[in-house]
Structure 1
Amino acid sequence: MPETKDRSALVRIAGNPAPAGLVGGYLKTSDRRRLRYAIAKVPGASRGTVILLQGRNEAIEKYFETIGDLNDRGFSVVTFDWRGQGGSERLLARRNLGHVGHFGQYLVDLECVMQDLVLPDCRPPYNLLAHSMGGLVALHASARHANAIERMVLLAPLIGFPADVPSLTTLQRLTGAARWLGLATRPVRRAAMPGRLTDADDNPLTSDPRRYERNLRIAAKAPELFVGSPTVAWLSAMSRAMARLQSSAEIAALTVPTLIVTAGADRVVASAAAERLAYRMRCGSSLRIPLARHELLQEADRFREQALEAFDAYVGEEAAVAAQ
């Protein structure tokens, strides 16, 4: 259940204003984990509610600009920090590690946000906008929420790792053996993972130096919101969840209309794997934004606007009816 709302839970820095009316707070999940959330409702006529799902090692503050843009387009927004990152409860004493016990825990997080925040207190239709790891969670949760979620737009979803990372089969074997040896909470060697931060020009996340520096300043102001290396358990959970999406039976269960938007210059996830999944889904389609890097909502305007327009166009029909 939601706890008392607390605006001070959200970190503010110069150059990253919080959207008007944004309210932060905490809720307890069914397995008693504390999640930080934020809600920004639009006054008057609404086109419905967007459930905004973040990627790994992200926080609500990175999405202030996007929340404001969605509000300007007539959408209320609900977002939250996954357990183990952002302002949500950490799962290990070593707070700097990105950890989850098993993939189902992320499904519990989304389930509780839907049941405690979205369905009782937010206006339909409900559309889901997810980035990276959030897209992987959205796909696995979609069958459970098919009666509530109208459409999903997944930006650079984590469906596969790039070619320089070992195959999913190899990752499952290695992480399974490591867990059996009691190493589930050990960090994965950072250099082995894609998406490492480098300099502003060559980083794999965004070609926009202003947004890149803004996100670095958020991390400098509130380092407690972010994590470093993922653990063996996190990598095991992700590799197994991605592998399940190669099954025809799993794909057949995906019935929520879904648009997958890939980044043409993505070095963090495998765009081709996401596009193959969209092709195999009976309710899926894909769109590639050439030259864009992984974090489409943190990218330069020429790429970011394409992602926002794709979302608006894809959910527009149902949203327009709601606003009338």
Structure 2
Amino acid sequence: MTLVSIPANPVPEGAVSGIIKTPDGAELRFARWLPPSGRKGTVCVFTGRGEMIEKYFETVRDLRDRGFAVAMIDWRGQGHSSRRLRDPRKGYVRSFADYEIDVESFVQQVVLPDCPPPYFALAHSMGGTVLLRIAHAGKRWFDRVVLSAPMIDLPGRLTTLPVRAFARALRLLGQGGQYVPGGSGKLTGTDAFLSNPVTSDPVRYARNAAILDEDPTLGIAAPTVAWADSAFRAMVTFRKYDYPSKIRQPILMLAASNDTVVSTPAIEEFAYHLRAGSHLVIAGSKHEILQEQDRYRSQFWAAFDAFIPGSPPFK
């Protein structure tokens, strides 16, 4: 399975890509890069909803400059991994537990056989939700975990009981495969820059939109009712008072002060109760910190370098 390369976003040198199959029949696209000569350790990157491997080529280069191997997957239902619905643009998952199957399949079939230890994880938004669930379950594949704007909760009243009950009712009525009310088939990440909620960097936003222009089959559109219901059920579990205290994994959470996609206060509250966790709010950044202006990205990488062993810039 090839990676999509455009002049503004070429594939980092040395990529190996392919397809793995999960026990429940999903096909997942993966990509991996070896570390620079003489260096060891792998960072596994887990994207957010609607994202794909190609969007993180710059991050791959940043990590390899730090001496790490890098490995990634496209989640089931997005990128060039298999999609379950007839309309491939619909963002669908049956349960967030399915994403945990994706991670375990990836670790067992790609990371452990072909990537050098020690292993670390870097996850964004929805990817952070999945990694927290895995850590809470006691699965210790990764020595340390860095989360960028993890989806602990949504802002405002988006996850109140009436909203959650409405999504559950629609799903029980057989509407799980339909777009959420108000959702459409327009690809996520193709709106005009001025109206976008994810980054204040016009160059990186245009680069990511150009990836979808080159290959629209990489993208997905609005979430389905089933995805929303599954996300609500996952996020509600995070509200249990003892949920974060049961996580033993060392975790660093990076939040964005101008985030309108996920709740920054929820991230802060969750992080306060982690036994081995810390957090930093990056003032001025929007949701996609790694796709932001350099002044925000530099703060992210400074925190990463202080937290992940062996990560001073490779020279």
Q: TM-score range by the shorter chain?
A: over 0.9
Q: Distance in 2 between matches of 1:208 and 1:45?
A: 35
Q: Distance in 2 between matches of 1:265 and 1:191?
A: 23
2:201 pairs with one of 202, 208, 222: 208
Helix, strand or coil at the partner of 2:20: strand
Q: 1:59 to 1:196 in 2, by over 3 A?
A: closer
The answer to whether structure 1 residue 63 and structure 2 residue 56 are counterparts is yes
Helix, strand or coil at the partner of 1:316: coil
**Corresponding position of 2:282:** 289
Q: Given residue 99 of structure 2, which amino acid in structure 1 is its aligned partner?
A: Y
Correspondences of 1:244-255 after superposition (within 5 Å): 244-255=237-248
Q: 1:191 to 1:95 in 2, by over 3 A?
A: closer
Q: Distance in 2 between matches of 1:83 and 1:284?
A: 29
Q: Distance in 2 between matches of 1:27 and 1:207?
A: 35
Q: TM-score, normalized by length of structure 2?
A: 0.93
C-alpha displacement of 1:197: 5.6
Question: Deviations 1:235-258 (Å, cap 9, x if unpaired)?
Answer: 011111011011134323311011
Runs of at least 5 residues in structure 1 that lack an aligned partner in the other structure? 1-5
Q: Given residue 14 of structure 1, which amino acid in structure 2 is its aligned partner?
A: P
The answer to whether structure 1 residue 94 and structure 2 residue 116 are counterparts is no
Number of matched pairs: 310
Runs of at least 5 residues in structure 2 that lack an aligned partner in the other structure? none
C-alpha displacement of 1:120: 2.0
Helix, strand or coil at the partner of 2:243: helix
What is the RMSD computed on CA atoms of the aligned residues? Answer: 1.9
The answer to whether structure 1 residue 300 and structure 2 residue 306 are counterparts is no
Q: TM-score, normalized by length of structure 1?
A: 0.91
**Corresponding position of 2:169:** 177
**Corresponding position of 1:73:** 66
The answer to whether structure 1 residue 219 and structure 2 residue 200 are counterparts is no
Q: 1:279 to 1:171 in 2, by over 3 A?
A: same
Q: Is the 8 A contact 2:250 2:277 kept in 1?
A: yes
The answer to whether structure 1 residue 85 and structure 2 residue 78 are counterparts is yes
Q: Distance in 1 between matches of 2:272 and 2:261?
A: 21
Q: Given residue 285 of structure 1, which amino acid in structure 2 is its aligned partner?
A: S
Helix, strand or coil at the partner of 2:303: helix
**Corresponding position of 1:266:** 259
Question: Deviations 1:33-52 (Å, cap 9, x if unpaired)?
Answer: 10001001113222410010
Q: Given residue 64 of structure 2, which amino acid in structure 1 is its aligned partner?
A: N
Helix, strand or coil at the partner of 1:248: coil
Q: Which consecutive segments of 4 or more residues in structure 1 shift more than 3 A?
A: 143-147, 195-198
Helix, strand or coil at the partner of 2:108: helix
C-alpha displacement of 1:22: 1.3
Q: Distance in 2 between matches of 1:103 and 1:219?
A: 25
**Corresponding position of 2:10:** 17
Correspondences of 1:92-131 after superposition (within 5 Å): 92-131=85-124
Q: Distance in 1 between matches of 2:53 and 2:269?
A: 30
C-alpha displacement of 1:282: 1.4
Q: Distance in 2 between matches of 1:143 and 1:87?
A: 29
Q: Is the 8 A contact 1:56 1:132 kept in 2?
A: yes
Q: Distance in 1 between matches of 2:15 and 2:139?
A: 27
**Corresponding position of 2:249:** 256
Q: Percent identity?
A: 42
Helix, strand or coil at the partner of 1:201: helix
**Corresponding position of 2:143:** 150
C-alpha displacement of 1:107: 0.5
1:316 pairs with one of 306, 309, 314: 309
Q: Given residue 275 of structure 1, which amino acid in structure 2 is its aligned partner?
A: E
1:160 pairs with one of 128, 153, 157: 153
